[in-house]
Structure 1
Amino acid sequence: MIRPLILLISLAMVVGACKNENNKTADADTAKTGKAASDQLTRNILFFGNSLTAGYGLDPSEAFPSLIQQKIDSADLPYKVVNAGVSGETSAGGKGRIDWILKQPVDVFILELGANDGLRGVPVNETRANLQTIIDRVRKKYPQVKIVLAGMQIPPNMGESYANQFRNMYVELAEKNNVVLVPFLLEGVGGVRELNLPDGIHPTAEGHKIVANNVWAVLEDVLRQ
């Protein structure tokens, strides 16, 4: 009777070990499935802009898109920020690289371009046409995309008429394309010496915090829709 008893105990141990291994495998499979589902649920927010988006003169973590990611994480929203800012970028430059950028999935598109055009005195109609082309290409590639346009203003160096046309261009584009508008990206920062680097153009880390708030005031509702 001893040997059968030993055999039964051995079989029980083998069966138990197999169950444990199966459970481990099942747990691992569940974890992988959960991660895959999580990855599929995460959506991309593409910030497409110039040195303001790139965070010129600062660590990338201090630029306003990174600060937006922090706000997204705090709100537990399923979005990942992609910073596609290039210092010195004009609307024409953006038009030239948009197709390459759109090779990655985009759910929300933040368009922040035009400031360098304004500083260089590029005709407003030309800038408007470039921005319209970018919007058209984004929508053609991703019809369900949500677009946010970052409005800009420039000093009256180029003349009051030009400055007014430039400011109104963003309002007109937003209305024409039915996109969400951040009225003035640098609200509370532009022209404030202590919130800008010595060049007087690019925000400091503190300035970027205010810029992030300006964007978030509009973007949060877009992400929660």
Structure 2
Amino acid sequence: MKSLNRYNPIRSYTILRLSLFLLGVIWSCDSGENQSSTNRPRKPAGTERTYTQQAAEQPTDERVILFYGNSLTAGYGIEPAQAFPALIGAKLDSAGYHYKVVNAGLSGETTAGGRSRIGWVLRQPVSIFVLELGGNDGLRGIPLTATKQNLQAIIDTVRAKSPEAKIVLAGMQIPPNMGPEYTSRFRELYKELATENNLALIPFLLEGVGGVRRLNQPDGIHPTPEGHKIVAKNVWQVLEPLLENDTES
């Protein structure tokens, strides 16, 4: 992936759009957490909590793929069925894979918040765990050591509760608002965690979507259903090799 730190006029515009996109996620997610679920647009946050409750409260012998993240996973501003985890579920069905997809995204989530609720979410074992957190940390300038420690703690908890689970880490990038060193180190943090823990890595979850106007909603900051289709493709490229095809069983 090309670095976001090099400057030219075209990339400058892309970085600006990505900045607006990611900053908007934080603003809308923070405000969304202070609203009742009935006041949220299309109730994405309320829906995500229901998915989380299902993951924790309904024992199942099915193979489960759990998507654990923030508003990008939750599908803020669109119908739950249009968010990339649901699109992955549809792809699994059409391809003959027997997995249940659980969306445990929570708008406004940071790595610290994710660390605090991971034990509750993982009351039942999972087969594949997709970890999408850290973007909100980066935009808030949270120390990278804290972000990495929180992500590592989540990974450790998954392995303790579901030792056989395969873990996929969704990489994130941020605009250079915090300075080039922080931006670069933030990007590399995901590569380091993936290498140190032998995880499957999605290099950049929003590849092909961040900063692209036509793939964002009218507010210019949240992916459209078309944008989520591209995100789903980014995820599928890494996820599919980890799947077990049991259509003959």
Distance 2:60 2:160 in 1: 22
Aligned match of 2:128: 108
Residue 207 in structure 1 maps to residue 227 in structure 2: yes
Aligned match of 2:180: 160
* Mapping for residues 92-171 of structure 1, pairs under 5 Å: 92-171=112-191
The two structures have a TM-score, normalised by structure 1, of 0.80
Aligned match of 2:100: 80
Residue 53 in structure 1 maps to residue 76 in structure 2: no
Structure of greater relative contact order (alpha carbons < 8 Å, 6+ residues apart): 2
The answer on whether the counterparts of 1:109 and 1:148 sit within 8 Å (CA) in structure 2 is yes
Counterpart among 167, 188, 201 of residue 181 in structure 1: 201
Cα-to-partner distance string for 1:162-219 (whole Å, 9 max, x where unaligned):
1101000000000000010000000000111111124443211110000000000110
Cα-to-partner distance string for 1:73-103 (whole Å, 9 max, x where unaligned):
0111010100000000000000000000000
The two structures have a TM-score, normalised by structure 2, of 0.73
Distance 1:175 1:217 in 2: 18
Report the Cα offset of residue 136 of structure 1: 0.3
Distance 1:193 1:165 in 2: 27
Gaps of 5+ in 1: 1-38
Aligned match of 1:12: none
Q: Which has the larger radius of gyration?
A: 1
**Secondary structure of the corresponding residue to residue 160 of structure 2:** helix
Judged with a 3 Å threshold, the aligned counterparts in structure 2 of structure 1 residues 41 and 104 are, in CA distance, closer, same or farther, namely: closer
The answer on whether the counterparts of 1:54 and 1:63 sit within 8 Å (CA) in structure 2 is yes
Residue type matched to 2:81 in 1? S
Cα RMSD (Å) of the superposition?
1.4
Judged with a 3 Å threshold, the aligned counterparts in structure 2 of structure 1 residues 201 and 66 are, in CA distance, closer, same or farther, namely: same
**Secondary structure of the corresponding residue to residue 66 of structure 2:** strand
Residue type matched to 1:65 in 2? P
Judged with a 3 Å threshold, the aligned counterparts in structure 2 of structure 1 residues 142 and 86 are, in CA distance, closer, same or farther, namely: same
**Secondary structure of the corresponding residue to residue 202 of structure 1:** coil
The answer on whether the counterparts of 1:45 and 1:82 sit within 8 Å (CA) in structure 2 is yes
The answer on whether the counterparts of 1:42 and 1:79 sit within 8 Å (CA) in structure 2 is yes
Report the Cα offset of residue 118 of structure 1: 0.7
Residue type matched to 2:178 in 1? M
The answer on whether the counterparts of 2:125 and 2:161 sit within 8 Å (CA) in structure 1 is no
The answer on whether the counterparts of 2:112 and 2:147 sit within 8 Å (CA) in structure 1 is yes
Cα-to-partner distance string for 1:95-124 (whole Å, 9 max, x where unaligned):
000000000221100000000001111111
Residue type matched to 2:72 in 1? L
- Residue-pair matches, total: 187
Distance 2:187 2:213 in 1: 22
Aligned match of 1:90: 110
Q: Which structure shows the higher helix fraction?
A: 1
Aligned match of 1:224: 244
The answer on whether the counterparts of 1:41 and 1:78 sit within 8 Å (CA) in structure 2 is no
Distance 1:214 1:96 in 2: 28
